[in-house]
Chain A
Amino acid sequence: MNRESLIAALQSVCGKVIVDDERLRVYETDGLMAKKQRPGVVVLPETIAEVQAIMSLCHKAGVPVVARGAGTGLSGGATPHPDGIVLSLARFNRILEVDQQNLLARVEPGVTNLAISRHVASLGLFYAPDPSSQIACTIGGNVAENSGGVHCLKYGLTVHNVRKLKLISPEGELYEVGSEAFDTAGLDLLALMHGSEGMLGIVIEVTVRLLPIPESISVLLAAFDDVSVAADAVGKIIAAGILPAGLEMMDNPAIRAAEAFVHAGYPEEAAALLICELDGSGTELEAQARQLDELLRAAGAILIRHATEAADRDRLWQGRKSAFPAVGRLAPDYYCMDGTIPRRELASVLKQISVLAEHHGLGVANVFHAGDGNLHPLILYDANQPGDTERAEAFGADILTLCIEKGGTITGEHGVGIEKIDQMCVQFRTAELAVFHQVKSAFDETGILNPGKAVPTLSRCAEFGAMHVHRGEEKFPHLERF
């Protein structure tokens, strides 16, 4: 089908079809700005029937479909396909039902993450997963990426907080996985959908679990004069049986950037900060905060601040929450990585990252979900400097390989998309990648949903394999082992 007839066909089933160059440009990237691709057509359906008709049409015509929420994804999951359409879920932005009895909310996929918590706040409830992008990102995108946030250490990821999905198959059928009950018969398709990056089905409705807002919250900020000491303190907190709601870490470049940006009152000379949030009932929380305070001091903290009042807590969090834009002011460009490692490796991996930074001649700032071992090194570079982008990408690839070597993974929450597709060849063997392709084909036999993302073709890996050493073998023989 040529573009003209495709447009005509789409216009006959969907009220809002974008075809002019100017407006198509809005959709040419997601949060991974480096990869641009102008889509041929963008559709903005408003009803489930429209989405079904669009899918059925594209399925018959073999036209690739890339679902899009808010386009805040950081791995190119929503980057358009050169021969395909972008299916925006932006108009599905209603909260359909709040069920206080069962602590559930039924929402459309284009509702933003934060809108859910805002909507139920007056009932004393909230939706727990809170990606830093929560003002903008959609719940449909959260499901597709299995997004996490600052509070996932205690409350889990998206997959732990979604009870049911309504989906549309590539053929255009509407179906459900999960339910308002706690489990359903058959294979756990609900779990499988999480993190599937728009490759298995179009999410058209999400039923999330709500939680009561904790009675009180206490935030502790602890400063350290050595990154390794701070990293080791993370393990000590967990080993003591304390499960904070959030446990975040920032290194010196991130601290200084944040301080300069929002003046949160962070000690700029500190090598690292831990921000630890506890929640619970009043008096017990006080006791736990005292225990944590003692533990942090014993673990080598040089300064500790407590905040219990909302305004003070917000101030302590503010620096962390604005760390990305703050770091963005340090260099013309930054590249956000997302590996996860076992907590015990934090200190050694942070050291190796700084060695790698020197090796590649680029700056790096670290601000991340320490409690989960989920790193977000922000590589600083200048895309206008010849060779800088390539160096940043090479540095990033080295960090990911390091994560795999330490028993971790190339992506904790941002997804593979197109960004980390080569690293998938490092993390998985051919047989496992083949299973991923099989899973995909079970849901999408003709492969129209977001083709080319998340799972590399085996031939791509064969080519890439010629350039790298497989897992199990030491990747950086030139680096000192810590």
Chain B
Amino acid sequence: MISADQSEELAAKVTEARDSGNPLVIMGGNTRAWLGNAPEADFPTLSVAGHRGVIDYQPEELVIRVRAGTPLTEVVSLLAANQQYLPFEPPAFGSESTIGGVIATGLSGPGRPFRGAVRDHVLGATIISGAGECLSFGGQVMKNVAGYDVSRLMAGSYGVLGVLLDVSLKVLPVPQATVTLAVPLSVQAAHARMPGLSMIPEVSALAWYNGQLLVRYSGTEQAMARIRSTADGELAEDHIWAQIRDLSLPEIAAADVLWRISIKPSASDLLGETCLLDWCGGLRWIVPAEAMTDVRAGLSQGEAMIFRGSTETKQRFGTFHPMAPVPARLNLALKKRFDPAGILNPGRLFEEA
């Protein structure tokens, strides 16, 4: 496993950008550049991929501290070798995906409703602020309320507040066994069953795809044996969850335009148009028949993001769901304080004018 500390070089580059006022596009493995708003201009990239390696990992502490440029696959296999995993099941969009990109985009996999999101597992972070300073927040311990929780704030921040240098993540033991059961149902019928199923302690993911309700159970061998013999559904491959997580199911992977709806799980909005329903109903993936359809306009609640789409589509409808005025102001105020020169991924998450 390659290990290299490039924090000084990276900080020097950020300081230079701060002084010149020339923005940088932060890049890890370049597997997520298409997410969020496109850069406003052809800004130079700041590659974090070379800043990599595991800084500290002691399995009995349930914490791993890694540099941002470390490939996700490396972290996942190191953990797996110790019967542990990242409970937020981050998607890998190709083998080059780095931990920095995983944290910055804040995307969690199918276990999200049951095991928590990326931010729930961030214990600490070291960043380079827009002022070029290396700063450390949080730590490697489970509980820490000293100072504002700046490290969790990094999850899903799309690099607009700072360049992630390293993160400490809470990890968990892999469940002894997992069982996936599929029940042929319409999306509406599957959706109606989800709240009841989510009360079962072993349920660790609930989705619907292609005419099937998919239920993942995790736990002890004994519990899984009981579920296999008593629970409703046909045994299915566990691999489906990796496909759901990585958005590699055929219709989703092939879509030019893909909308992501985050909504109260019980809401019925756009169920009929949903291609993949995940998170107990709280996450809906929609592939519009027409590229220029405003899916957001069809929502009575919840939020819609253009997950994948041309710059034109994104510009027309807005990539992210618009924020209410006060949160929008607070987002901007934080950005201005972390990055007063506006040099880190400007505009990637929200308009900064």
Q: Which residues does A use to contact B, with CB under 8 Å? A: 99-103, 124, 145-146, 148, 152-153, 156-157, 159-160, 169, 173, 175-177, 179-189, 191-192, 194-196, 200, 212, 214-215, 235-236, 238-239, 241-243, 280-281, 283-284, 287-288, 340-344, 369, 372-374, 407-416, 420, 424, 427-429, 431-433, 435-436, 438-443, 454-455
Contact = CB atoms under 8 A, between A and B. Distances in A.
Contacts of B337: 435, 438-439, 441-442
Contacts of A413: 143, 145
Task: Please give me the 7 A-B residue pairs with the lowest Cβ-Cβ distance, nearest first.
Answer: A175-B326, A241-B173, A412-B143, A442-B333, A180-B264, A239-B60, A438-B337
Nearest to B219: A284
B91 interface: no
A372 B148 contact: no
Which of B141, B143, B338 is the most central at the interface, judged by chain A CB atoms within 10 Å of its CB?
B143
Select the residue from A188, A196, A438 with max chain B CB neighbours within 10 A.
A188
A284 B140 contact: no
Given A188-B153, A284-B223, A436-B148, A344 B201 contact: no
Contacts of A185: 303, 305, 320-323
A271 to B, nearest CB: 22
Contacts of A408: 139, 141
B334 A340 contact: no
Nearest to B319: A185
A374 B338 contact: no
Interface string B198-213: 1101100000000000
Contacts of B140: 342, 407
A465 B314 CA distance: 51
A238 B62 contact: yes
B141 A412 contact: yes
Nearest to B328: A186
Contacts of B324: 175-176
Contacts of A196: 148-149
Contacts of B39: none
A277 to B, nearest CB: 15
B120 A160 contact: yes
A439 B150 contact: yes
B283 interface: yes
A432 B303 contact: no
B141 A189 contact: no
B1 to A, nearest CB: 22
A50 B211 CA distance: 51
A416 B83 contact: no
A32 B60 CA distance: 35
B144 A409 contact: yes
A74 to B, nearest CB: 12
5 contacts: A102-B264, A146-B145, A159-B149, A340-B144, A410-B146
B147 A344 contact: no
B17 interface: no
A243 B174 CA distance: 11
Contacts of A176: 324, 327
A373 B60 CA distance: 12
B255 to A, nearest CB: 21
Interface residues of B, number: 82
B117 A182 contact: yes
B156 A435 contact: no
Contact of A173 (B142, B320, B326): B326
A366 B174 CA distance: 32
B161 interface: yes
Interface in B234-270: 262-266
A391 to B, nearest CB: 24
Contact of A243 (B112, B150, B172): B172
B152 A191 contact: yes
Interface in B42-98: 58-63, 83
Given A281-B202, A455-B147, A188 B106 contact: yes
B178 interface: no
B15 interface: no
B222 A186 contact: no
B327 A183 contact: no
B6 interface: no
Given A100-B195, A432-B135, A157 B303 contact: no
Contact of B119 (A100, A188, A344): A188
B129 A435 contact: yes
Given A185-B305, A241-B83, A373-B141, A343 B279 contact: no
A233 B201 CA distance: 27
A280 B218 CA distance: 12
A187 B156 contact: yes
Nearest to A234: B60
Contact of A188 (B83, B145, B152, B325): B152
A148 B143 contact: yes
Interface in B182-234: 195, 198-199, 201-202, 219-220, 222-223, 226
Given A212-B201, A343-B61, A427 B106 contact: no
Contact of B59 (A101, A239, A429, A436): A239
Contacts of A103: 195, 198
A298 B160 CA distance: 51
B143 A181 contact: no
Contacts of B322: 185
Given A156-B116, A432-B136, A179 B201 contact: no
Given A239-B60, A424-B147, A183 B262 contact: yes
B161 A187 contact: yes
Contact of B147 (A169, A432, A441): A432
B146 A416 contact: yes
B330 A189 contact: yes
Which of A102, A181, A185, A241 has the most CB atoms of chain B within a 10 A radius of its CB?
A185
A427 B283 CA distance: 39
Interface string B148-185: 11101101110011000000000011101000000000
B143 A152 contact: yes
Contacts of A288: 220
B10 interface: no
A372 B140 CA distance: 11
Contacts of A412: 141-145
A79 B145 CA distance: 18
A157 B143 contact: yes
A186 B323 contact: yes
Nearest to A197: B145
A194 B149 contact: yes
A74 B54 CA distance: 37
B303 A443 contact: no
Contacts of B350: 186
B295 interface: no
Interface in B116-140: 116-117, 119-120, 129, 133, 135-137, 139-140
Given A182-B283, A435-B150, A340 B262 contact: no
Contacts of A410: 146
Contacts of A238: 60-62
A432 B334 CA distance: 15
Contacts of B144: 340, 409, 411-412
B113 interface: yes
A342 B61 contact: yes
Contacts of A455: 147-148
A321 B304 CA distance: 46
B14 interface: no
